[in-house]
Chain A
């Protein structure tokens, strides 16, 4: 993994409750760079988050909301967040349900901005 990507992801994974973060090629859901704890399948998270983000984008576009700048899927045992980054990439994070989403969103947006 390139150092710049690693540093950007570290800013996300240092937030309490975050179990992994990655850059994902948005259209095909392939991991570009990742930093995840053991037990997290980065490839699966990337593929599923990419697919979900794509579908949410279509629904949001249809509903007149436009291209989402932040998407969060909350589940019983965790949460997955995605933020679009330049060149069609996504910044994706998987975290525990109690994570401070405010901090997480800021860190993900910053990472997305800095990739440009």
Chain B
């Protein structure tokens, strides 16, 4: 590690205008040498004031120093340069959460998920903020946790996560629609807990669940992608003069999926294995669409 610092310092001395300061400052930060990391990143920023990566790194150094207002300013500066900077949205989501600003945290984390739907830390953070996990909220660049069996959340319909498990957070508000939970949307329909998913226009899960081939819940990742599909469908049909989109069917080696918009702001996904042909899938989807549309109307959520 010391060799790394020496080597990077030498490189930076040879070429002070290079971006190697990012790696050097990150290495120093990882070693806990926060004063040195601050000096390096500030010097780098003076040469590269438009570097979003430098502002993001500066924010993380400040967060390590517990200067949270400073970190917030630095991440805001990052977003002014790159409005879709993953690290900045994760960081600001974390800070909002620490302050008890659940809505703000959701906004940033959902944007982060739309930027990288495969980021497990963001998915975990979203579950925490929404009160669907008992795991503690991670700092933006903490390593992903090993989840012991005993700590895995168990389904507790309608019961918010205990506040004590979410440091600094206010209780998660219950969705509007008295007594309703997202699990209730598709009750009574086959596959409600594994092959039906209702999402909003921003890629948030409203109800149902999708399970991957290994049985893992992949609802959050899938929802993030679905929002993009629906936006693209709207754009394609508008540009091509085809009117509104009715549905999308996709047939894959692992099954068939059927997408439709129960309302203009929501998208419904039905997934079944290949034994259910796409024609039959359309019938199932229509039934689920009616249920979802009625639920949305009654809950008044959107």
Contacts and interface: CB of A to CB of B under 8 A. Distances in A.
Interface string A40-70: 0100110011011001101110111111111
Contact of A65 (B226, B245, B255): B255
A65 B256 contact: yes
Interface residues of A, number: 31
Given A58-B225, A60-B250, A48 B235 contact: yes
Contacts, number: 125
Q: Is the interface of A mostly helix, strand, loop or mixed?
A: mixed
B233 A73 contact: yes
Interface string B213-237: 1000010011001101100110111
Given A48-B232, A52-B232, A64 B237 contact: no
Contacts of A70: 249-251
A59 B222 contact: yes
B76 to A, nearest CB: 30
A1 interface: no
B36 to A, nearest CB: 41
Given A65-B256, A68-B250, A48 B245 contact: no
B221 A75 contact: no
Contacts of A52: 229, 232-233, 236, 248
B239 A60 contact: no
A36 to B, nearest CB: 12
Contacts of A94: 240
B226 A59 contact: yes
A54 B247 CA distance: 16
A68 B250 CA distance: 6
Interface string A80-116: 1000000000000010000000000000000000000
A77 B245 CA distance: 9
Determine the interface band of chain B, counting residues with CB < 8 A from chain A: 35 or more
Contacts of B212: 62-64
B257 interface: yes
Contact of B251 (A41, A58, A68): A68
A75 B250 contact: no
Nearest to B246: A74
B175 interface: no
A100 to B, nearest CB: 13
Contacts of A69: 251-253
B232 A66 contact: no
Contact of B239 (A44, A65, A72, A76): A44
A66 B253 contact: yes
B242 interface: yes
A45 to B, nearest CB: 6
A77 B257 contact: no
A15 interface: no
Contacts of B210: 63-64
Nearest to B237: A75
A73 B236 contact: yes
A55 B237 contact: no
Contacts of A44: 239-240
Interface of B: 117, 210-213, 218, 221-222, 225-226, 228-229, 232-233, 235-237, 239-257, 259, 269, 271
15 contacts: A41-B240, A56-B229, A59-B226, A60-B252, A65-B250, A65-B257, A66-B255, A72-B250, A73-B245, A75-B243, A75-B245, A76-B237, A77-B242, A78-B243, A80-B236
Interface of A: 41, 44-45, 48-49, 51-52, 55-56, 58-60, 62-78, 80, 94
Given A56-B250, A65-B254, A65-B255, 6 more contacts: A55-B225, A63-B257, A66-B254, A71-B251, A73-B236, A78-B242
A-B pairs with the 10 shortest C-beta distances? A76-B243, A75-B242, A65-B252, A59-B225, A48-B236, A68-B250, A64-B212, A66-B254, A66-B252, A78-B242
